[in-house]
Structure 1
C-alpha cells in the first residue's frame, strides 16, 4: 500500500481512483468450471477496439461540436472587441469592451464544462473578479475597471481567437479521416449501388473519357476495405493527438494562472502553519499545566509542611524534604523533555546528525542513523521540521510497528533534503484520514515538502520525506 502526498504538477501524485475509462483491452477470460472448454485467454488488441470505445466517440463529439461553437464565439468576440476598440475615443468603447471580455469569461466556463464532460479534463475555475471602487463599494465603473484589468479576461479572449483556426483545422481533418475510413471500410456493403443505379462498375478511382478505372472486382474491393480498416484504426489516435492541443489550450488559457495558484497554495499552507502552531501551543500549555506546574505546586505544599514539622519532628521533616528533592528531579526532567519537544539545543548547536542520534538512543528498538549532508546545513526551519518528522516516526516505530530494528537516513539531492525511516515491523501504516501520519504530511506540505508512505501488510515500512533545502 503506497500513499503519496504532494503538489500536483510539481512532484506528481499517485492516484488510486478508477476513472471509469475502458482500458482498450478485453482479456476474454471465462469460468472454465461453469462453461467448460480450455479456458484459454483471448485478447483483443487495443487498436482494434479503440474506434468503438466511448473515449473515442467523446473526443470525436468534442471536435465536431467545437467547430460551430468556435465560429459563433469568434464572430461575437471579434465584433465586440473591434467595436469596443474603435469606440475607445469615446466613453462608449469602455463598456462595450468590458462586456465583450466578460462574455469571454462566460465562454470559458462553457469550454471548461465541455472539456470536463467530453475529454475528462479537470481545470479549476480561475480567480474571480475583485471588484472594489475607490470608496470601497462595488459599482458599475468598478466592475468595468476590474474586467479590463483582469488578465484572466484577456486570456479568455485570446483563447477564443486562437481556438477558432485550430477548431476549423481539427474539424476538417477529423471529419475527412473519419468519413474516408468508414466509407472505404464499408465499401463491400454498398458498392452494388454503382452498377445498379450509376451505370458503372464501381467507385471511380481516376481516369478520363478514354481511360476509366473503377474499383469493381473482388481484389480491388478487398484492398479498398483493407485500406479503410487501417484508416479507421488510425482515426482515434489522430483525433486524440488533435484534442491534446485542445487540452493544452484549455489548461493554459482558461485555468487559473500560476501566480493565482501559488497564492491559493500559500494561503492554504499558511492556514496549516497557523493551526499547527496553535496546536503546539495548546500542547505545551497542557504539558506545563498537567505536568511540571502540578509537580511544583505539590512541591511547594510539601516544603511548607516540612517547614512546620521541622521543629516538632525533625526526622519526619527530613523525610519530607527528601521526597521533595525527588519531586524536584522529576519536575526538572519533565521541563527538559518539554524544552526538547519545543526545539532541542543539540539541534541548534550540533545539527541533525547529533540531534537524530539522541532521538534514536531513546527509541525502544535499535536504530541505525546515517546523515550525509556534507559541511552545509539546511535552513533552521527545515532542520527543525526534519528533526520532528524523524522523532514522530520513531515514536510510531516504538509504539505501533512491532519492529526489531529501524534505520534513519538523511541526505541531500540538489536543493532538496531527503529523510527516510525504515523499520522491519508488521506494516499496514496508513497516512490517510485523521492519522498522525496525515498530520505529518500536512506539516510537510506547508513548506513545499511531500511524504511518501510505503507500508504493505507484513512489512517492512518505508517512510520518505522530501523537504526544500531552504525555506
Structure 2
C-alpha cells in the first residue's frame, strides 16, 4: 500500500489538486460557448488593452535605453560615463517595474519581483557598482531593446485584425453611410480610373458574406491576441522576473527565518519544561530533605517518611528529564535509526500504532531527526484530536526522497488552516525543502504524507 501510494505521490511531486470552482463542474455548461464569447470576454479586452499600451511605452523605453546607453558608452573615456551608464540601467529597472505591474493587472501574470539593489557599503559609488553588477539591470536593458520591435509588430497585427473584424461584422449597420453621404451604394472593394469596372458591397448576399467574414475574423482575433500576449508573458517572466538564483535566495532566507523561529520555540519549550517541571521538583526535593535533616534526631520516623517522599520526587524528576531528553533527540534514534525510534514512539502512544519502515540505509541525521519529530507530532495529534481506534506509520524511499505517511481511522476534518499544529509542521518541513500534504475528509480516514530530501 505504501509503495503504491509513494510512486503515485512522487509522480505528482506533492502537489494537491486545485479546488473545483462552484458552478464550473462537468454538470454545469455555460450559456454561451467560450469560443463565441471570447470577443467580448474581459480577458480579451484586457489583453488587447495591454498590446495597445505597449507601443507608446516601448517607444519610450527604447529611446531612453538607446540614448542613455549610447551617451554613457561615449563618455566612458571620462569618468562621467560610469554614472550615466548606471543611471541608464536604473531607469530600465524602473521601466521593468512598470511592465511587471502592467502584466499583473492586465495579463494576470504572477511574476515575482527581482532582488533590489543592495550595495555592500554606503555611498554613491557603492550604489553605482551594485547597479552595474546586477544581472537584473542588464536584463531590464535587454527587455527595453527587444520589446520595441515586438510591440510594433503586435500592435499592428492586433489593431488590424480587431478593426477589420468588427468593421466587417457590423457592416450591415453602417452601410447606409455610403448612399447617404458618399453617393455610392456601398463599400467599394476595387475600381478602375475610368469608372467602368467597379465593385461595391451593396447586394443582400454580398452584405451577408461580408458580415460572415467579419464574424470569422472577430472570433479568431481573441486567440491571435492571446498568442501575441503569450510572447509578452515569456519576455516579462524571463527578463523582468526574478531569476532562479534570486528565487532560491528568497526561499533560503525564508527557510532560514523559519528554522530560526523553530529553534527559538524549541528553546522556549525546553526552558519552560525545565522551569516548571524538573527544576520545581528539585527545589521541593531540597526543601523536603532540609526538613528531614532537621527532624532526623527529634522524630526519626517522620524523617524517614519525608526521605521516602523525596525519593519518589527524585524518580519523578528523573522520568521528566528522560522525557525531555527524548524530546530533544532520543538516544535510540542515534544508535538504532528510524525503525527502532518510531517503534518506541508507537509503544508510548495511547492509540495502537503499526509501524512499517522500508529503508535501504539511513538518511542524513538531520533528515532522520525531522522525520522522527514529524511522526511524533502527528501521532500526538492522533491521540489528542482524531478519536481514532488505530493508526499506521509507513516510511519508505522513492528515488532521492524520504516519504513518511501517518494514517488513522478517526473522525477526520484535520485542516492546517485551523491552527491544529499542521501549519507549523509544514513550515518546518519547508525549511529543508520538504512537503506536507493532508487528506482528511470529514468522517475520516485521515492520511498525512510528508516528503523530505534524502541527503544520505
CA–CA distance in structure 2, aligned partners of residues 457 and 307 of structure 1? 60
> Does the 8 Å CA contact 2:65/2:88 hold for their aligned counterparts?
yes
CA–CA distance in structure 2, aligned partners of residues 201 and 178 of structure 1? 21
What pairs up with 1:317-356 in 2 under 5 angstroms? 317-356=303-342
Question: Given the alignment of the two structures, is residue 167 of structure 1 paired with residue 151 of structure 2, yes or no?
Answer: yes
> Does the 8 Å CA contact 2:14/2:437 hold for their aligned counterparts?
no
CA–CA distance in structure 1, aligned partners of residues 20 and 56 of structure 2? 35
CA–CA distance in structure 2, aligned partners of residues 207 and 370 of structure 1? 90
CA–CA distance in structure 2, aligned partners of residues 16 and 138 of structure 1? 50
> Does the 8 Å CA contact 1:26/1:44 hold for their aligned counterparts?
no
Aligned-pair CA distance for 1:93: 2.0
Question: Given the alignment of the two structures, is residue 436 of structure 1 paired with residue 421 of structure 2, yes or no?
Answer: yes
> Does the 8 Å CA contact 1:451/1:466 hold for their aligned counterparts?
yes
> Does the 8 Å CA contact 2:255/2:430 hold for their aligned counterparts?
yes
> Does the 8 Å CA contact 2:16/2:437 hold for their aligned counterparts?
no
Residue in 1 aligned with 2:444?
459
Residue in 2 aligned with 1:401?
386
Classify 1:332/1:437 alpha carbon distance in 2 versus 1 (closer, same or farther; 3 Å): same
Aligned mate of 2:400, from 415, 432, 442: 415
Q: Considering only aligned residues, what root-mean-square deviation do their CA atoms show, in Å? A: 3.0
State the TM-score, normalized to the length of structure 1: 0.85
Question: Given the alignment of the two structures, is residue 58 of structure 1 paired with residue 46 of structure 2, yes or no?
Answer: yes
> Does the 8 Å CA contact 1:424/1:461 hold for their aligned counterparts?
yes
> Does the 8 Å CA contact 1:192/1:202 hold for their aligned counterparts?
no
CA–CA distance in structure 1, aligned partners of residues 411 and 282 of structure 2? 42
Classify 1:212/1:372 alpha carbon distance in 2 versus 1 (closer, same or farther; 3 Å): farther
Aligned residues: 440
The range that moved more, 333-342 or 455-464, is 455-464
Structure 2: gaps (5+ residues): 1-12
Residue-by-residue CA offset, 1:158-181 (whole Å, 9 max, x unaligned): 111111121112112211221222
Residue in 2 aligned with 1:280?
266
> Does the 8 Å CA contact 2:167/2:214 hold for their aligned counterparts?
yes
CA–CA distance in structure 2, aligned partners of residues 391 and 263 of structure 1? 31
Aligned-pair CA distance for 1:255: 2.2
Residue in 2 aligned with 1:49?
37
State the TM-score, normalized to the length of structure 2: 0.87
CA–CA distance in structure 2, aligned partners of residues 105 and 12 of structure 1? 34
Residue in 1 aligned with 2:127?
143
The range that moved more, 61-70 or 457-466, is 457-466
Aligned-pair CA distance for 1:215: 4.2
Question: Given the alignment of the two structures, is residue 392 of structure 1 paired with residue 392 of structure 2, yes or no?
Answer: no
> Does the 8 Å CA contact 1:26/1:43 hold for their aligned counterparts?
no
Question: Given the alignment of the two structures, is residue 378 of structure 1 paired with residue 363 of structure 2, yes or no?
Answer: yes
Residue-by-residue CA offset, 1:182-208 (whole Å, 9 max, x unaligned): 122122223454566363565427999
Aligned-pair CA distance for 1:435: 4.0
> Does the 8 Å CA contact 1:191/1:203 hold for their aligned counterparts?
no
What pairs up with 1:10-409 in 2 under 5 angstroms? 43-132=31-120, 136-139=121-124, 141-194=125-178, 197=182, 199=184, 202-204=187-189, 214-373=200-359, 375-409=360-394
Structure 1: gaps (5+ residues): 1-9, 28-40
> Does the 8 Å CA contact 1:272/1:443 hold for their aligned counterparts?
yes
> Does the 8 Å CA contact 1:406/1:424 hold for their aligned counterparts?
yes
CA–CA distance in structure 2, aligned partners of residues 368 and 411 of structure 1? 15
Classify 1:298/1:144 alpha carbon distance in 2 versus 1 (closer, same or farther; 3 Å): closer
Query: Greater relative contact order (Cα 8 A, min sep 6): structure 1 or 2?
Result: 1
CA–CA distance in structure 2, aligned partners of residues 318 and 407 of structure 1? 48
CA–CA distance in structure 1, aligned partners of residues 382 and 147 of structure 2? 56
